[in-house]
Amino acid sequence: MKRAARIPILGGAKAFVLHRPHANLTAIMRQLSAIGLAATDCWPELPPEALGADFVFFDVDLGFDEQFPWAPGEAPMPIIALIGSEAPGRIEWALSHNADAQLLKPVGNSGVYSALLIARQSFAARRQLADEIATLQARVAERQTIVRAVAALTSQGIDDERAYAQLRSLAMSWQVTLEEAARRVVAMTEQEGGVDQSHRA
């Protein structure tokens, strides 16, 4: 049985609300204050200090890329889209920024708390997935390096099995990982046109 996720404590977190002066902004700020967040409103762009925020709310209806101090889709914190218009172009723009949650306008007396929780969970899951993908890509790159190193060693007149054994021997001799040994062999191959016999264990 999967254990339910614990509801995080949001009090003390920092939020920036990128929205022009409006009743919607007032409603959001009031809810954020009641939840215990330190909230700052701004318009028409986020100030540099917003990079240290825990959450950012942004207006989809009048938003544009230059409002953010990061590239579309690369927000370093959970972001919440404030949506009033359902025009396809506006929704597409919001999607390009990878909004972690949304809050429909007009904003009433509720909705902000659940948007914060969903945004935090979505952002954490997206970051975890990105980390896992980066790890897998690094492993693939390492394996490709090992293949290149084995190919470099086989060019010295030995078969694949002996070349792999030679690479393992080099790793032990140099007291490094197999991947690091492979990188060294590849580097030597590129620099010298082959692996010097003196580098063999």
Query: pLDDT tens digit string along 95-150?
Result: 999 999 999 999 999 999 999 999 999 999 988 887 888 888 888 888 888 888 88
Domain-embedded: residue 128 = no
Residues 80 and 34 in one domain: yes
Residues 144 and 105 in one domain: no
| Coil vs helix vs strand at 76 | coil
Label residue 5 by pLDDT band (50, 70, 90). low
* Percent residues over pLDDT 70 in the chain: 91
Domain-embedded: residue 175 = yes
CA dist., res. 116 & res. 122, Å (int): 10
Q: Looking at the 3D structure of the chain, how many domains does it have?
A: 2
Q: Which domain range does residue 146 map to?
A: 134-199
DSSP state of 4: P
135 vs 29: which has the higher pLDDT: 29
Residues 59 and 93 in one domain: yes
CATH of the domain at 69: 3.40.50.2300
* Percent residues over pLDDT 90 in the chain: 57
Please, which contacts does 88-94 make with residues 24 or more away whose CB atoms are closer than 8 Å?
Answer: 90/60, 90/61, 91/60, 93/60, 93/63, 94/60, 94/63
Domain-embedded: residue 174 = yes
Domain-embedded: residue 58 = yes
Label residue 80 by pLDDT band (50, 70, 90). very high
Residues 80 and 28 in one domain: yes
Domain-embedded: residue 191 = yes
pLDDT surpassing 90 at residue 157: no
pLDDT surpassing 90 at residue 14: yes
Residues 99 and 172 in one domain: no
Q: What is the pLDDT of residue 126?
A: 87
Residues 37 and 103 in one domain: yes
pTM, to two decimals: 0.70
Residues 172 and 98 in one domain: no
Q: What is the pLDDT of residue 178?
A: 86
Backbone CA torsion sign across 60, 64, 68, 71:
positive
Residues 63 and 24 in one domain: yes
Mean of the per-residue pLDDT values for the chain? 88
Residues 23 and 92 in one domain: yes
CATH of the domain at 138: 1.10.10
